[in-house]
Amino acid sequence: MSVAAAQASAFYEEFLTNGQVFALRDDAGFPAPLNSEGVRAMPFWSKRSRAEKIIANVPAYSGMEPVEIPGQDWLEKWLPGLEKDGLLVGLNWSGVRAIGYDLTVADVQRNLDARRRLRSARHHPNAE
Measured distance CA(106)–CA(124) in Å, rounded = 27
Is CATH 3.40.1350.90 the classification given to domain 3-119? yes
% the chain with pLDDT above 70: 96
Residue 1: is its pLDDT beyond 80? no
Mention every residue, 6+ apart, whose C-beta is less than 8 A from residue 83. 104, 105, 106
- Predicted pLDDT at 126: 65
| Residue among 93, 83, 75 at smallest CA distance from 10 | 93
Measured distance CA(4)–CA(99) in Å, rounded = 8
The band of 125, judged by pLDDT with boundaries at 50, 70 and 90, is low
The string of pLDDT tens digits covering residues 13-37 is 999 999 999 999 999 999 999 988 8
**Could you state, in order of their start, the residue ranges of all structural domains in the chain?**
3-119
Contact 23, 69 (CB under 8 A): yes
- Predicted pLDDT at 103: 97
